[in-house]
């Protein structure tokens, strides 16, 4: 074959490529339009019956030289890409997404702002055990200028025989200490029916990992103005985590903080595997503040400091860690809470490295 012949054929091929390009994009535009019509009508995007009809049509009209199976494979790729395009459009529309709102959401906790560029620390005991226990931790925090106090009153325990928390009495203790020391309280609620009551005692409602997809609870906290700290589920993907936050915002509450707390993997060296890259991904994909819980992700006291540094270095808006006056006798998470001198050393170390600035 002469060079001229080859050039001519290649020129024809380029022309066909350009026609295919036009046609594929034309098809994509139509698929997008169909997606919009379906979404307005509340119909599902993927329609297997319609896909089967299209594949049959290709088989009936195929004159070769491609095998029908080859063509069906190629067309399935195109169908899949179109479906993803419709999903992209859908993601754009998520209220928590950066695409929807470019500026960072800043959650105001009684004047202390989370997500304003200043990194914060949320600390306190795993469970509220007594007034004295909470007061001792809170006082040590206050002396260091920290005001965001966590403590569990409703505890999600793996075993029903383990300490379940003090319930409402625990919330009362938290509120009393917070009022006395002028602090902000963060505490978990597990039951949608307790949300209303809890908002009278706490400044932030925490949704724990085990309840990340408790959709009734998400809807309920979404219908209040109280800020919400939403933790990532034990086996939740980032996409599922984002959609859980969407449940809250879609019900009217925009004051949401996301908290990466480790996910379950095969690794046994830590209690969970801290997915540190979730932080920049969540910051890119959403406009919400992102925190890292170093206690529940690692489950190891010796890893709290290095992982907190990693969280601050990667751009988390805050770090959560647990502190107990005497972790050895703590009613929950005894192996991973810091005692007060360890908490002071932890803070000093973060400040020394310049990572924590307050």
3-state secondary structure of 90: helix
Binding test (CB under 6 A) with ligand PEP, winner from 296, 312, 321, 337: 296
125 binds ligand PEP (CB under 6 A): no
Integer Cα distance of 355 and 279 in angstroms: 16
Which residue in 94, 114, 126, 140 binds ligand PEP (CB under 6 A)? Answer: 126
Structure tokens at 134: 């909470």
283 contributes a contact to ligand PEP by CB under 6 A: no
Quick check: 323 binds Mn ion (CB under 5 A)? no
**Region from 155-163, 233-241, 244-252, 331-339 binding Mn ion, contact rule CB under 5 A:** 331-339
Q: Tokens 């169909």 label which residue?
A: 34
- Pairing status of strand 184-188 against strand 148-150: parallel
Lookup result for tokens 């700290």: 229
Q: Is residue 150 within a helix (H) or strand (E), and if so which, with residue range?
A: strand 148-150
Q: Which does 283 bind (CB under 5 to 8 A by kind): ligand PEP, Mn ion, none?
A: none
**Under rule CB under 6 A, residue 233 binds ligand PEP:** no
Q: How many residues belong to the site for ligand PEP (CB under 6 A)?
A: 11
- Asked if 171 interacts with ligand PEP (CB under 6 A), we say no
Q: Cβ closer to Mn ion: 203 or 333? A: 333
Selection from 356, 84, 120, 157 nearest residue 259 by Cα? 120
> Residue 104 has what DSSP assignment?
P
The neighbour count for residue 248, using CB atoms within 10 Å, is: 27
252 binds ligand PEP per the rule CB under 6 A: no
Give 82 or 336: the residue with its C-beta nearer to Mn ion.
336
Site membership for ligand PEP, residue 156 (CB under 6 A): yes
Is 333 one of the binding residues for Mn ion (CB under 5 A)? yes
State the minimum distance, in angstroms, from the CB of residue 330 to Mn ion: 9
What is the β-pairing status of strands 112-114 and 290-293? unpaired
| Among positions 126, 141, 204, 256, the unique one binding Mn ion when judged by CB under 5 A | 126
Burial category of 231 from C-beta neighbours within 10 Å (exposed 0-12, middle 13-18, buried 19 and up): buried
Kind of pairing between the strands at 318-322 and 184-188: unpaired
Chain contacts with ligand PEP (rule: CB under 6 A): 126, 152, 156, 188, 208-210, 231, 261, 293, 296
Chain contacts with Mn ion (rule: CB under 5 A): 126, 333
């Amino acid at each position: 074959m002469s060079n001229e012949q080859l050039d001519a054929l290649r020129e024809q091929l380029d022309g066909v490529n350009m026609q295919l390009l036009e046609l594929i994009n034309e098809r994509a535009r139509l698929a997008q339009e169909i997606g919009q019509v379906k979404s307005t009508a509340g119909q599902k995007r993927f329609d297997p019956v319609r896909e089967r009809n299209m594949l049959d049509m290709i088989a009936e009209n195929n004159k070769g030289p491609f095998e029908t199976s080859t063509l069906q494979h190629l067309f399935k790729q195109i169908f899949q890409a179109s479906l993803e395009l419709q999903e992209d459009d859908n993601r754009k529309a998520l209220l928590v997404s950066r695409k929807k709102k470019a500026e960072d959401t800043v959650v105001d906790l009684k004047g202390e702002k989370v997500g304003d560029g200043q990194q914060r620390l949320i600390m306190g005991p795993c469970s509220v055990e007594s007034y004295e226990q909470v007061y001792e931790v809170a006082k040590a925090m206050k002396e260091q200028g920290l005001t965001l106090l966590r403590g569990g009153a409703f505890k999600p325990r793996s075993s029903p025989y383990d300490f379940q928390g003090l319930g409402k009495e625990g919330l009362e203790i938290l509120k009393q200490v917070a009022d006395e020391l002028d602090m902000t309280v963060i505490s978990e609620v597990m039951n949608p029916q307790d949300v209303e009551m809890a908002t009278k005692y706490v400044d932030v409602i925490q949704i724990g990992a085990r309840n990340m997809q408790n959709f009734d609870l998400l809807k309920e906290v979404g219908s209040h103005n109280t800020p919400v700290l939403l933790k990532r589920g034990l086996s939740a993907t980032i996409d599922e985590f984002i959609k859980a936050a969407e449940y809250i915002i879609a019900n009217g509450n925009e004051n949401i903080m996301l908290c990466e707390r480790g996910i379950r993997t095969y690794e046994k060296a830590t209690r969970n595997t801290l997915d540190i890259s979730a932080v920049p991904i969540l910051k890119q994909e959403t406009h919400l503040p992102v925190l890292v819980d170093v206690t529940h992700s690692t489950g190891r006291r010796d890893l709290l400091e290095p992982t907190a540094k990693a969280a601050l270095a990667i751009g988390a808006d805050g770090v959560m860690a647990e502190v107990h006056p005497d972790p050895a006798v703590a009613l929950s998470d005894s192996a991973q809470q810091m005692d007060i001198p360890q908490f002071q050393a932890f803070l000093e170390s973060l400040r020394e490295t310049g990572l924590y600035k307050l």
